[in-house]
Structure 1
Amino acid sequence: MGVLVLRLILIYSFFSTLVYCGSSLPGNETDRLALQAMKAQILQDPHRVLSSWKDFIHFCLWQGVNCSLQHHQRVIRLDLQSQNLVGTISPHIGNLSFLRELHLQNNSFSHEIPPEIGHLRRLQVLRLDHNSLSGSLPVNVSNCLSLINLNVGYNNLVGKISPEISTLSKLQSLVLQANNLTGEIPPSLGNLSYLMILGANDNNLKGSIPSSLGQLRNLTNISLASNTLSGSVPPSIYNLSALIAFSLSQNQIQGSILSDLGNTLPNLQYFHIYGNQFTGSIPMSISNATSLVELDISENKLTGQVPNLQNLVNLELLSMGNNNFKGHIPNDIVKLSRLRRLSLQNNALSGELPTSLGSCLSLEVLHLQGNLFKGPIPSSMISLKRIRDLDLSCNNLWGEIPRFLQGFSFLKNLNLSYNEFRGAVPVEGVFNTLSATSIVGNTRLCGGIAELQLPKCKHFKESKESKESKESKGGGLSHSFILVISLSGFLGIAILLSLIFLHRLRKKKSKETEMTSLENSILQLSYSALLKATDGFSSINLIGVGSFGSVYKGLLLDDDRAQLVAVKVLNLLRRGASKSFIAECEALRNIRHRNLVKILTVCSSVDFRGNDFKALVYEFMDNGSLEEWLHPTTPTEEVRDAPKNLNLAQRLDIAIDVACALDYLHNHCGTPIVHCDLKPSNVLLDDGLTGHVSDFGLARFLPKETSNVSANQISSTGIRGSVGYVAPEYGMGSKVTTYGDVYSFGILLLEMFTGKRPTDHMFSEGLNLHNFVKVAFPERVTEIADPLLLQGDHTGRRTNDTQKKLKCLCSIFQIGIACSVESPRDRKGISHVASELQSLRDILLR
Structure 2
Amino acid sequence: MGKLTFLMLNFALLWWWSSIPSPGACSGNQTDRLALGSFRNAMREDPLGVLSSWNDSTHHCEWQGVSCSKRHPGRVTSLVLRSQGLGGFLSPHIGNLSFMRVLVLSNNSFHGEIPPQIGNLLRLRELNLINNSFDGPIPSNLSHCSSLEILILINNQLVGRIHSNLGSLPRLTGLGLANNNLVGPIPPSIGNLSLLQKLSLSHNALHGEIPEELSRLERLVFFQLSFNKLIGEIPPGIFNISSMLAFYVGYNQLRASFPSDMGTTLPFLSELGAPSNLFTGTIPPSLTNVTGLRGVFLFNNSFRGPIPKNLGRLTGLHVLSLSYNQLQDDLSFISSLANCSNLEYLIMESNLIHGSLPRSISNLSASVEVISMRSNPIHGSIPSALGNLFNLSVLILANTFLTDRIPDSIGGLYSLQELQLSANMFTGEIPPSIGNMTLLNALDLHSNNFQGYLPRSLGNCKQLTCLDLSNNNLIGTVPVEILSLFSLSIFFSLAHNNLSGSLPLQVGSLKNLAMIDLSYNRLTGLIPASISECLSLRWLYLEANSFHGQIPQSLRPLRALEELDLSNNTFSGPIPSFLTELALLEYLNLSFNELEGQVPKAGVFLNASAVSVSGNRELCGGVPSLKLPLCKLPRSKKSCSTKAIVISVVAGSLLCLALLVLCLSIFFYGKRKQMTTDASTKLSLEHPFLRISYDELLRATERFSESNLIGKGRYSMVYKGILDSGETVAVKVLNLMQRGALRSFVSECRTLGTIRHRNLVKILSVCSSADFRGNDFKALIYEFMANESLEEWLHPGTTRRDDESGQSRNLRLVQRLNIAIDIAIAIEYLHKGCCPPIVHGDLKPSNVLLDNDMVTRVGDFGLAKIISTVSGEAIGIQDSTSTAVKGSIGYVPPEYGMGHKVSTLGDAYSYGILLLEIFTGKRPTEEAFGAHLNLHSFVQTALSDRALDVVDLRLLSEADDQQQEIMIGDCAALVLEVGVACSMDSPRDRMDVTRAIKELYSIKASYETK
Does the TM-score normalized on the shorter chain lie above 0.5?
yes
Matches within 5 A, 1:436-835: 436-444=442-450, 446=453, 447-449=455-457, 455=475, 518-519=496-497, 524=520, 533=547, 535-542=549-556, 568-569=588-589, 606-607=615-616, 609=618, 637-641=753-757, 787=909, 790-791=912-913, 797=934, 798-803=936-941, 804=943, 808=977
Shift of 1:139: 0.9
Match of 2:359 in 1: 355
Is contact 2:384–2:410 with CA below 8 Å preserved after alignment?
A: no
Which range moved further: 100-109 or 803-812? 803-812
Match of 2:862 in 1: none
Residue aligned with 2:446, SS: coil
Match of 2:110 in 1: 109
How many angstroms apart in 2 are the aligned matches of 1:384 and 1:226?
35
How many angstroms apart in 2 are the aligned matches of 1:281 and 1:209?
22
How many angstroms apart in 2 are the aligned matches of 1:228 and 1:437?
38
Amino acid aligned to 1:326: Q
Matches within 5 A, 1:34-433: 34-308=35-309, 309-329=311-331, 330=333, 331-358=335-362, 359-421=364-426, 422-426=428-432, 431-432=437-438
How many angstroms apart in 1 are the aligned matches of 2:86 and 2:385?
54
Is contact 2:167–2:189 with CA below 8 Å preserved after alignment?
A: yes
Residue aligned with 1:159, SS: strand
Is contact 2:268–2:290 with CA below 8 Å preserved after alignment?
A: yes
How many angstroms apart in 2 are the aligned matches of 1:46 and 1:556?
66
Amino acid aligned to 2:382: I
Shift of 1:526: 8.0
Residue aligned with 1:164, SS: helix
Q: Deviations over 1:483-520 (max 9, x none)?
A: xxxxxxxxxxxxxxxxxxxxxxxxxxxxxxxxx96457
- Cα distance 1:136–1:405, how it changes in 2: closer, same or farther (>3 A)? farther
How many angstroms apart in 2 are the aligned matches of 1:273 and 1:214?
18
How many angstroms apart in 1 are the aligned matches of 2:522 and 2:370?
43
How many angstroms apart in 1 are the aligned matches of 2:565 and 2:178?
47
- Cα distance 1:313–1:29, how it changes in 2: closer, same or farther (>3 A)? same
Structure 1: any 5+ residue segments left out of the alignment? Answer: 1-22, 458-515, 558-565, 583-603, 615-633, 646-684, 692-758, 763-781, 814-833
Residue aligned with 1:441, SS: coil
- Cα distance 1:48–1:455, how it changes in 2: closer, same or farther (>3 A)? farther
Amino acid aligned to 2:755: V
How many angstroms apart in 1 are the aligned matches of 2:1009 and 2:89?
29
Q: Deviations over 1:123-170 (max 9, x none)?
A: 001100011211111111111110000000011111111111011111
Which range moved further: 168-177 or 38-47? 38-47
How many angstroms apart in 2 are the aligned matches of 1:517 and 1:59?
74
Amino acid aligned to 1:224: L
How many angstroms apart in 2 are the aligned matches of 1:799 and 1:845?
31
Amino acid aligned to 1:114: P
Shift of 1:32: 1.8
Shift of 1:432: 4.6
Is contact 1:550–1:571 with CA below 8 Å preserved after alignment?
A: no
Shift of 1:378: 2.8
Q: Deviations over 1:513-565 (max 9, x none)?
A: xxx964576883589976974742245525679999855699999xxxxxxxx
- Cα distance 1:349–1:546, how it changes in 2: closer, same or farther (>3 A)? same
Q: Deviations over 1:708-733 (max 9, x none)?
A: xxxxxxxxxxxxxxxxxxxxxxxxxx
Which range moved further: 329-338 or 567-576? 567-576
- Cα distance 1:569–1:420, how it changes in 2: closer, same or farther (>3 A)? same
Match of 1:589 in 2: none
How many angstroms apart in 1 are the aligned matches of 2:120 and 2:444?
62
Amino acid aligned to 2:390: K
Between Structure 1 and Structure 2, how many residues are aligned? 571
Is contact 1:301–1:324 with CA below 8 Å preserved after alignment?
A: yes
How many angstroms apart in 2 are the aligned matches of 1:553 and 1:80?
65
How many angstroms apart in 2 are the aligned matches of 1:844 and 1:205?
36
Amino acid aligned to 2:285: M
Amino acid aligned to 2:321: S
How many angstroms apart in 1 are the aligned matches of 2:28 and 2:147?
21
How many angstroms apart in 2 are the aligned matches of 1:801 and 1:845?
26
Amino acid aligned to 1:411: L
Shift of 1:243: 1.0
Amino acid aligned to 2:190: L
Amino acid aligned to 1:354: P
Is contact 2:79–2:102 with CA below 8 Å preserved after alignment?
A: yes
Shift of 1:639: 3.0
Amino acid aligned to 2:371: L
Residue aligned with 1:250, SS: coil
How many angstroms apart in 1 are the aligned matches of 2:564 and 2:940?
42
Is contact 1:534–1:552 with CA below 8 Å preserved after alignment?
A: no
Shift of 1:610: 10
How many angstroms apart in 1 are the aligned matches of 2:169 and 2:33?
29
Shift of 1:311: 1.9
Match of 1:661 in 2: none
- Cα distance 1:283–1:550, how it changes in 2: closer, same or farther (>3 A)? closer
Shift of 1:214: 0.6
Is contact 1:102–1:126 with CA below 8 Å preserved after alignment?
A: yes
| TM-score normalized with structure 1 length | 0.59
Residue aligned with 1:158, SS: strand
How many angstroms apart in 1 are the aligned matches of 2:33 and 2:391?
57
Shift of 1:200: 0.3
Amino acid aligned to 2:251: Q
Shift of 1:420: 3.1
Residue aligned with 1:230, SS: strand
Q: Deviations over 1:392-415 (max 9, x none)?
A: 111222344344544445432221
How many angstroms apart in 2 are the aligned matches of 1:155 and 1:841?
29
Match of 2:31 in 1: 30
How many angstroms apart in 1 are the aligned matches of 2:299 and 2:339?
22
Amino acid aligned to 1:334: A
Shift of 1:40: 2.1
| TM-score normalized with structure 2 length | 0.50
Residue aligned with 1:254, SS: strand
- Cα distance 1:578–1:355, how it changes in 2: closer, same or farther (>3 A)? farther
How many angstroms apart in 2 are the aligned matches of 1:204 and 1:176?
12
Residue aligned with 1:310, SS: helix
Structure 2: any 5+ residue segments left out of the alignment? Answer: 1-23, 460-466, 478-493, 500-517, 526-542, 572-584, 593-598, 621-625, 627-749, 762-817, 825-868, 873-903, 917-923, 926-932, 944-973, 983-997
Is contact 1:409–1:429 with CA below 8 Å preserved after alignment?
A: no
Q: Deviations over 1:349-388 (max 9, x none)?
A: 1112233333222212211111122233334433423322
